[in-house]
Structure 1
Amino acid sequence: MRRALALLFVALALPALAQDGTTAEGAARAARRLREAAQLLDAAEGSRDRLAALTQTVRAYEDGLGLMRDTLRRVAEDKARLQADLDARRAEIAGLLAALQSMGETPEPVLMLHPSGALDTARAGMLLADVAPALQARAEGLRAELETLSAIEQTQAEAEQTLRDGLLSVQTARADLAAAAADRTDLPRAFTEDPVATALLMASTETLDAFAAGLGQTVDQRLATPPDTATARAGTLPLPVEGTILRRPGEPDPAGVARPGLVLSAEPRALVTMPVTATLRFRGPLLDYGTVAILEPAPGTLFVLAGLAQVFGDAGEILPEGTPLGMMGGETPDADAMLTGQVPVGGSARTESLYLEVRNADGPVDPGTWFRLD
């Protein structure tokens, strides 16, 4: 009995030694990804292709921060569940401790005697022998739960600091990326733009159909025929932003408006990249679509991307596959807002929308004929 009592007191006092493997491994993986991103950011300063290095860096930060936010959500859920279990058993644990403490303070010779005589003393001894292993098992179970709770709290503190560091660094990486994209001078050009014709077209059209049909008027001088690397890969192109499909072609939005393109949900300030080498035919605000980028990946085919906050490049430039096209809008929440639950996590954190429409000479076509939508 004394041994069971000692084990229970030890269980209440010992620090954490282990934790649920899934949560701990998720936190370690997220922290490792953010460390890799920090190393990439340092290396980007001396990179020969600084834009490519910074693009890779921002992607790494986005992946690492997404993993870390999801990990912290699971950590908080595990902690709350375990804490609620311990709180619910608080009265039971207190009663058990009181009983064991009272028995532990009784002199051992007195504890072993029963007032009814030797037979009842023997029976009491047999009962104690049966109870002791059960008490020991309960003490060991409680010890394991307390160890897990302490480990969860330690993981949470470390992950929170890593998240704060990562959020600060990704802002630097995005600013550097935008500056590097603006400084590009070596991009080939398919044509030079007539800005007056573009302004007149924007002012005189009321639909995307009309604007797309009149894009040829904005060309001042053709300089080169861009390569067509997209046609052979139709149906396999990656989506330009990391996110999920919010609405498919023809599905109405909350206002009842149905459009022929995809609506993708993405995180604030998410990087939008070129799915394939294409000519930038237009960039700027258009109708009610917000900031728009129109790409021509193949003769007669247009990709319309609407909802960006920034577009990198000028009309007429040929942008290589994988290079940054722009960034989504919104504001990345700070660490305190994330940690206090004031902002959503996981898929619900994708609060920005990118509209993607594919058009040919006959009008809109199914985006699935060009993009991989799985």
Structure 2
Amino acid sequence: MISGSPGGRCGWLVAGALGVFLLAGPGQAQQPLQITPPPAAAAAPSATAVAPEAAKGARQEELDKVQAEQRKNAEIAARLKAELDAIGEDRRKLNALLIGSAANVRAVEDRIAAAETRLAALQANENTVRRSLNSRRAVIGEVLAALQRVGRTPPPALMVSPEDALQSVRTAILLGAVLPDMKVEVDTLLADLAELVKVRNEIAAERDVLGRDLAALSQERTRMTGLVAERQRKQSETEKALDGERARAVQLARQADNLKDLIGRLEQDIAASARAAAAARADRPADPKNSLAALQDPGRLSPAIAFAAAKKTLPLPLNGIRIRDFGVPDGLGGTEKGLSLASRAGAQVTAPCDGWVVYAGPFRSYGQLLILNAGGGYHVLLAGMERISVDIGQFVLTGEPVAIMGGGPQSAAAVATGSSQPILYIEFRKDGVPVDPGPWWAANDSEKVRG
């Protein structure tokens, strides 16, 4: 045994120091929505106080006034819409840039997530190799002692460099300094050192790629922030008056509905006829050729295809990990009404479909809530974001940026999961009832609808 010789003792000493290198690791890396309905219009005087015919006439006169004002507002809205149509080309260009920028951000986020996954695997591999090398300190001591015995002094850098350790072992083998009964152990040691060198080189390369992608992500987010600001500026400039008219029209429509309800007690068939006509229009199949052309128009102001016909085509609103699916137990005796995705801090959220923004802002325990009217009785709810970048009344396209995630969970439901990551909650509703969003998601990027 050579470990008892002075050279062997020195070898063991160096091996102990080498352990410092080996031990040192690399640098450290629901409940369904319940929206309280608006208060009803002030109750009208009781019909018992006047004759039925007089009451009906008074209500009809008031309804006529409301409808006349609605027609006036519709004319104003039509003129404003014509002005919006006049700047359609600018809007198309801006929308195309926004959607392209959002796609770039998601692509970079995908690359970053993949690089982080590879880095985690490589670092786990490095730790495994280091543990294997630590278990072979005795063999390292024997090799170093053997080198000293034949007049070779291992370089001081050996204590901190796996490359030098690998070279020393190879030198010992070439010089025949390794005893035959050590060959199997030395071959294993050689393989471990070679693997460690390879893994460390791969980690360095991945970190370079990750650094470049993080820089690219920062630049693209800055660009997108500017585009979003421009979109909202144009929205504010061109639709300020329209927003006011829409708000007034909504108020009048609520009032008119209440009045119609009162009149409907006397004439039951009026509302039923109107509902039947609306249902017939909604059920009319869309022309596939027109839908395809509409999908290619970034300046469109209505959905390109019916939401019910968009199954297997919609992109998820962000790149994330599914932590809760629709229909699974929610831990409170019920089931989940939507899908929850854990995301990166600061991840962008894009519209999963074409639709009108009908609500944007804080709501109860949901935190920031965005509701899109997708048409056909469908609504898409997104919750848990830190910041929403679109306004009520705005029409958004599939893939258009609409919000940004924060640095951690924002809603009560997200906090309840125990996750430290931001969590986006997604819910689809049909006629007010939650439905499984699963059938709508595209299986892969090639099948996704793009704005």
TM-score, normalization by structure 2: 0.50
Of 218, 221, 231, 1:174 maps to: 221
Any conservation in 2 of the 1:228–1:298 contact (CA below 8 Å)? no
State the partner residue of 1:146: 193
- CA radius of gyration, larger in: 2
State the partner residue of 2:435: 365
SS at match of 1:329: coil
- Structure 2: distance between partners of 1:195 and 1:74: 58
Cα 1:60/1:349, change in 2 over 3 Å: farther
Any conservation in 1 of the 2:308–2:376 contact (CA below 8 Å)? no
Deviation for aligned residue 1:306? 0.8
Q: Following superposition of structure 1 onto structure 2, how do residues 85-104 of structure 1 map, counting pairs within 5 Å?
A: 85-95=132-142, 97-98=144-145, 102=149, 104=150
Q: Which has a greater percent of helix?
A: 2
- Residue 324 in 1 paired to residue 324 in 2? no
Any conservation in 2 of the 1:228–1:297 contact (CA below 8 Å)? no
Any conservation in 1 of the 2:302–2:395 contact (CA below 8 Å)? no
State the partner residue of 2:386: 309
Give unpaired runs (5+ residues) of structure 2: 1-10, 15-92, 152-175, 255-300, 409-417, 445-451
Letter in 2 for 1:285: P
- Structure 2: distance between partners of 1:143 and 1:313: 60
Q: Following superposition of structure 1 onto structure 2, how do residues 215-234 of structure 1 map, counting pairs within 5 Å?
A: 226-234=303-311
Any conservation in 2 of the 1:239–1:275 contact (CA below 8 Å)? yes
Q: Which has a greater percent of strand?
A: 1
Any conservation in 2 of the 1:249–1:366 contact (CA below 8 Å)? yes
State the partner residue of 1:84: 131
Deviation for aligned residue 1:364? 2.1
SS at match of 2:365: coil
- Residue 289 in 1 paired to residue 366 in 2? yes
- Structure 1: distance between partners of 2:94 and 2:205: 31
Equivalent pairs, count:
265
- Structure 2: distance between partners of 1:267 and 1:257: 28
Letter in 1 for 2:433: G
Of 43, 49, 68, 2:115 maps to: 68
SS at match of 1:296: strand
State the partner residue of 1:26: none
- 1:305-359 per-position Cα deviation (integer Å, ceiling 9, x unaligned): 111122222222221222212221117xxxxxxxxxxxxxxxx998111111112
Letter in 1 for 2:247: D
Letter in 1 for 2:100: A
Any conservation in 1 of the 2:313–2:441 contact (CA below 8 Å)? yes
- Percent identity for Structure 1 against Structure 2: 29
Any conservation in 2 of the 1:283–1:314 contact (CA below 8 Å)? yes
- 1:157-204 per-position Cα deviation (integer Å, ceiling 9, x unaligned): 343344344334423322321221221237998x74429979xx9xxx
Of 187, 194, 201, 2:247 maps to: 194
- Structure 2: distance between partners of 1:238 and 1:177: 19
- Residue 59 in 1 paired to residue 106 in 2? yes
SS at match of 2:366: coil
- Structure 2: distance between partners of 1:280 and 1:365: 20
Give unpaired runs (5+ residues) of structure 1: 1-8, 13-45, 106-128, 202-223, 332-347
Deviates more, 1:153-162 or 1:306-315: 153-162
Deviation for aligned residue 1:81? 1.0
- Structure 1: distance between partners of 2:199 and 2:104: 29
Deviation for aligned residue 1:302? 0.5
- 1:37-87 per-position Cα deviation (integer Å, ceiling 9, x unaligned): xxxxxxxxx999432332132112211211221122112111111111111
- Structure 2: distance between partners of 1:354 and 1:157: 33
State the Cα RMSD in Å: 4.0
SS at match of 1:238: coil
Cα 1:302/1:92, change in 2 over 3 Å: same
Cα 1:235/1:66, change in 2 over 3 Å: closer
Any conservation in 1 of the 2:109–2:319 contact (CA below 8 Å)? no
Letter in 2 for 1:272: V
- Structure 2: distance between partners of 1:227 and 1:80: 52
Q: Following superposition of structure 1 onto structure 2, how do residues 152-171 of structure 1 map, counting pairs within 5 Å?
A: 152-171=199-218
Of 338, 343, 354, 1:277 maps to: 354
Of 87, 93, 97, 1:50 maps to: 97
Cα 1:349/1:85, change in 2 over 3 Å: farther
Deviation for aligned residue 1:256? 6.7
Any conservation in 2 of the 1:329–1:352 contact (CA below 8 Å)? yes
SS at match of 1:283: strand
Deviation for aligned residue 1:93? 3.2
Deviation for aligned residue 1:370? 3.6
- Structure 2: distance between partners of 1:49 and 1:97: 65
State the partner residue of 2:424: 354
Cα 1:140/1:304, change in 2 over 3 Å: same
Deviation for aligned residue 1:154? 2.8
Cα 1:138/1:361, change in 2 over 3 Å: closer
Any conservation in 2 of the 1:231–1:298 contact (CA below 8 Å)? no
Any conservation in 2 of the 1:273–1:322 contact (CA below 8 Å)? yes
- 1:123-179 per-position Cα deviation (integer Å, ceiling 9, x unaligned): xxxxxx9x9777566545533432321232233234334434433442332232122
Deviation for aligned residue 1:90? 1.0
Letter in 1 for 2:382: L
Letter in 2 for 1:68: A
Of 309, 315, 322, 1:245 maps to: 322
- Structure 1: distance between partners of 2:182 and 2:366: 68
Cα 1:150/1:373, change in 2 over 3 Å: closer
Cα 1:273/1:132, change in 2 over 3 Å: same
SS at match of 1:356: strand
